[in-house]
Amino acid sequence: MTSEVRPSECYVYITLPGETEAVTAGRYALTTDAHGTAIGRFVYGRSYLERVDSVPIDPIELKLAKRTYQTTNMKGVFGALRDAGPDYWGRRIIERHVGKPEIGELHYLLYAPDDRAGALGFGLGKTPPAPRRKFNQTLDLENLQMIADAIVKDEAFPANAAAEQIEELMLIGTSMGGARPKAIIESEDGLWLAKFNRPDDKWNSARVEHAMLVLARNCGLSTAQSKIIQVAGRDVLLVKRFDREKTAHGYLRSRMVSALTLLRTEDSHRSRDKWSYVLLAEELRRVCAEPGKDAAELFRRMCFNALISNTDDHPRNHAIIAKDRDWKLSPAYDLTPTNPISLEHRDLALICGNSGRYANVENLASQSIRFLIERDHAHAIIAEMEDLIMSTWYEVSREEGVSEQDCKQIAGAFAYPGFRF
């Protein structure tokens, strides 16, 4: 497909639980009405609905049914489809690849490679393409990092950057990874997301994010597996793809839906009244197989984000996954501290209690019952996590290779003075 082709519809493929080959689930069309409003429509294929092993694309918006679904949200793109599309970094790569600053929403879905987050795929043919068999290896990372640097700086690609390697950088898959440069690599135990440091980072983001994932695991949270490797003397964070499982016959794929989709809201700040941990907990209780377990896990993540000043905890940084038919909260990912100026008041991206987004112990506990946690127990959870973080964050950071200077940079993020006011 060239950049001049302007398709208005495509087929949606899905890899079913326990399978490694995709099947066609339905058809998606994107049109614009006389007022310029984008309208998206989706219909499941009859043969797909007749399968005994068919599963819904998502548990909220696109349930299995013989009907045409329609939306005008998010420029006409259903949430679950957008979750399978490229993130900010992926869109930048695609725009550079096709030579245009912005392309249509359907094009972003079609241009992104098949190895995206979750179990979905998109194409113009009714029959899905064969699954991808070849991936970048660790030894490819040096060239990929140089290409990523050139894109960040808006410079020409290095002379030794092969065209296929540039396209490999489009294998960023997830719409839940934000703007950080990244690529997918394969090792003996599966697929990993490689996240590169940016030249304008305030600290070694790779080391710091890895340390926060370790700290979160120490606090009893379920997190994505991570490790640091060095490429040409530079640190690269590797995060294990939890939506993939390597087998002798290929990769099993888990369905994946972001909290943005679960909450039926949008990226725009005009929609932030629906960005809420409390509302998300209720959605988890509605769709997950173990609602009490997942709601309690979400409460702990909310508290952890408050205690490390992770104010980038937006709805795309939370998700549910389904390896089989049942949905559950995904492992935590993208845990990064910020160092706001204020010592008295810090807000999370999502509403967490009666006082809105205020990252304060009383606010965190104020709606604990919505997470199926009694108020006294909530305070105990917060106190225990606060003690552990305050007493170990520095030790964990240094053990994971965060420099002394970077520790000084992030020190103000942990259990800030206003947390107990």
Output 144 or 395, whichever has higher pLDDT: 395
**Is 275 contained in some domain?**
yes
For 341-373, write each residue's pLDDT tens digit: 778 899 999 999 999 999 999 999 999 999 999
254 and 119 share one domain: no
How many of the other CB atoms lie within 10 Å of CB of 257? Answer: 26
Domains identified in the chain, total number:
2
**Is 358 contained in some domain?**
yes
Judged against a pLDDT cut of 80, whether residue 381 lies above it is answered with yes
261 and 405 share one domain: yes
Per-position DSSP letters for 229-276, written without gaps between them: EEETTEEEEEEE-TTEEEETTEEEE-EEEEHHHHTT--SSGGGGGG-B
**CA–CA distance, 55 with 247 (Å, rounded to integer):** 21
Judged against a pLDDT cut of 70, whether residue 98 lies above it is answered with no
Judged against a pLDDT cut of 80, whether residue 140 lies above it is answered with no
Of 96, 123, 150, which residue sits at a domain end?
123
Nearest to 103 by CA among 113, 94, 116: 94
**CA–CA distance, 81 with 65 (Å, rounded to integer):** 17
Q: What is the structure's pLDDT at 171?
A: 46
Residues near 62 by beta carbon (within 8 Å), at least 6 away in sequence: 42, 56, 69, 78, 80
Burial of 2 (0-12, 13-18, 19+ CB in 10 A): exposed
403 and 258 share one domain: yes
**CA–CA distance, 199 with 150 (Å, rounded to integer):** 11
Q: What is the structure's pLDDT at 130?
A: 77
**Is 325 contained in some domain?**
yes
Q: What is the structure's pLDDT at 153?
A: 66
Q: Say which residue the tokens 């640097």 belong to.
A: 149
Q: Say which residue the tokens 């996954």 belong to.
A: 321
265 and 412 share one domain: yes
**CA–CA distance, 52 with 66 (Å, rounded to integer):** 15
**Is 293 contained in some domain?**
yes
**Is 209 contained in some domain?**
no
CA angle in degrees (0–180, nearest 5) for 418-352-319? 125
Residues near 28 by beta carbon (within 8 Å), at least 6 away in sequence: 9, 10, 11, 12, 40, 41, 42, 78, 81, 106, 122
379: three-class secondary structure by DSSP: helix
Residues near 272 by beta carbon (within 8 Å), at least 6 away in sequence: none
Nearest to 55 by CA among 281, 259, 261, 287: 287
Where in the sequence is the domain holding 407, given as residue range(s)?
249-420
CATH of the domain at 400: 1.10.1070
Output 151 or 333, whichever has higher pLDDT: 333
**Is 41 contained in some domain?**
yes
Q: What is the pTM of this model?
A: 0.90
What stretch of H or E contains 121?
strand 120-123
Judged against a pLDDT cut of 90, whether residue 179 lies above it is answered with no
Output 206 or 232, whichever has higher pLDDT: 206
Mean pLDDT of 297-302: 98
**Is 205 contained in some domain?**
no
**Is 277 contained in some domain?**
yes
253 and 119 share one domain: no
